[in-house]
């Protein structure tokens, strides 16, 4: 097993990768900034560093340059959200080991990381290139179940279609009472919950869920920023509260993390 350092300004990504790689026996340290990451790199001397390129204050290229002055041969794997651009070209020039896409399903990400580890043990390495993986959909009965609760049909349809394509089993509810009835009928692993709905808002729905011993993950969606309401949802154990329009990749990260943390 390996010591892994994750440097990414998204706390959710750090938590997600620490949980998934930790569950596979690796020792994982995380940093949400470049300076903190460099200090951990010096202290822990990780076998692998997973590095986000786009971070405020000190971006991934600057961090990578400083890592190279500490250890010119250290394996560094770039976390990327998309295709090759100028930053990624510069990273290749600094000898990154590989690229991993953030949107990969968790098990696919672990398998890809395992292949990087196996390759790194060989004396002769091919030039770094983005990992090509086949994203096999999980068996439908094993896939995490998600309930989407929102009074806006467009939001329900958008989120449901996206998560269904990603392999989740998705049900939808137009309001709080319908959602509570569906949870009583069959427990979902995760609930995506609109905060502002007529009749029964998201906080009231979540209070009722917790009163009925629902222990699954919850993500709040909101079009406004009423502090007391949002804080109340977080106090009841929501993974996060996200604004609308919905960032679908970030939403899926929250679902992955929530399902991971609530799996027995």
Structural tokens at position 264: 């027995």
Mean pLDDT for 11-17 is 84
Mind listing the domains of the chain with CATH numbers?
A: 3-120 (3.40.50.2300), 145-262 (3.40.50.2300)
Read off the pTM. 0.61
SS3 (DSSP) at 52? strand
27 vs 101, residue with greater confidence: 27
CA atoms of 105 and 138, how far apart (whole Å)? 10
Using an 8 Å Cβ cutoff, are 169 and 143 in contact?
yes
Distance, in Å, from the CA atom of 121 to the CA atom of 261, rounded to the nearest integer, reads: 32
Asked if the model's pLDDT at residue 86 lies above 90, the reply is: no
136-192 pLDDT tens trace: 444 455 688 999 999 999 999 999 999 998 889 999 999 999 999 999 999 999 999
Query: What's the pLDDT at 119?
Result: 65
Q: Encode pLDDT of 36-67 as tens digits.
A: 999 999 999 998 899 998 888 888 899 999 99
CB atoms near residue 52 (< 10 Å): 23
Residue pair 151/200 in contact (Cβ under 8 Å)? The answer is no
pLDDT at 263: 57
Q: Residue 251 above 50 pLDDT?
A: yes
Nearest to 172 by CA among 149, 154, 138: 149
Q: Tell me, letter by letter, the H, E, C secondary structure of 102-120.
A: CCCCHHHHHHHHHHHHHHH
Question: For the segment 186-222, what is each residue's pLDDT rounded down to a tens digit?
Answer: 999 999 999 999 999 999 999 999 999 999 989 999 8
Distances (CA, A) of 121 to 110, 117, 131, 147, 202: 17, 7, 17, 43, 50
Q: So what's the pLDDT on residue 133?
A: 41
Which pLDDT value is given to residue 106?
65
Contact between 16 and 256 (Cβ < 8 Å):
yes
Quick one: pLDDT at residue 123? 39
Residue 232: closest CA among 214, 246, 218:
218
Mean pLDDT value across residues 86-92: 78
Structure tokens at 86: 């100028």
DSSP letter, residue 79: E
| Alpha-carbon distances of 166 from 75, 103, 132, 170, rounded to whole Å | 30, 10, 17, 10
What confidence category does residue 134 fall into, taking pLDDT thresholds of 50, 70 and 90? very low
**10 pLDDT tier (thresholds 50, 70, 90):** confident
pLDDT at 64: 93
Instruction: Please compute the mean of the pLDDT values over residues 13-29 and round it to a whole number.
Output: 84
β 145-149/240-243 pair status: unpaired
Question: Is pLDDT of 128 > 60?
Answer: no
pLDDT at 136: 45
Q: What is the pLDDT of residues 70-83, one digit of tens each?
A: 999 898 888 876 55
DSSP per position, 219-240: EEEESS--HHHHHHHHHTT-SE
Please tell me the predicted confidence (pLDDT) of residue 125: 43
Look over the chain and give the mean of its residue pLDDT values, rounded to a whole number. Answer: 83
């Amino acid at each position: 097993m390996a010591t892994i350092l994750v440097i990414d300004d998204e706390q959710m990504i750090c938590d997600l990768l620490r949980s998934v790689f930790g569950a596979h026996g690796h020792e994982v340290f995380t940093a949400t900034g470049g300076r903190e990451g460099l200090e951990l790199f010096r202290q822990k001397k990780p076998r692998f560093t997973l590095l986000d390129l786009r971070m405020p204050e000190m971006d991934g290229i600057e961090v990578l340059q400083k890592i190279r002055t500490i250890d010119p041969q250290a394996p560094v794997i770039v976390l990327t959200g998309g295709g090759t651009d100028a930053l990624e070209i510069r990273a290749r020039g600094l000898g990154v080991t590989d690229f991993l896409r953030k949107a990969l399903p968790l098990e696919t990400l672990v398998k890809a990381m395992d292949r990087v580890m196996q390759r790194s043990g060989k004396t002769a390495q091919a030039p770094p290139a983005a990992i090509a993986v086949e994203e096999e959909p999980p068996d439908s009965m094993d896939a995490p179940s998600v309930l989407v609760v929102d009074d806006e049909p467009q939001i329900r349809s958008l989120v449901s279609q996206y998560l269904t394509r990603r392999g989740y089993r998705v049900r939808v509810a137009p309001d709080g009472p319908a959602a509570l009835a569906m949870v009583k009928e069959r427990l979902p692993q995760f609930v995506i919950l609109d905060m502002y709905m007529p009749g029964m808002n998201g906080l009231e729905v979540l209070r009722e869920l917790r009163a009925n011993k629902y222990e699954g993950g919850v993500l709040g969606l909101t079009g406004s920023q009423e502090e007391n309401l949002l804080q109340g949802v977080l106090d009841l154990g929501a993974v996060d509260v996200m604004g609308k329009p919905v960032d679908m990749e970030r939403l899926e990260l929250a679902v992955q993390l929530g399902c991971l943390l609530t799996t027995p």
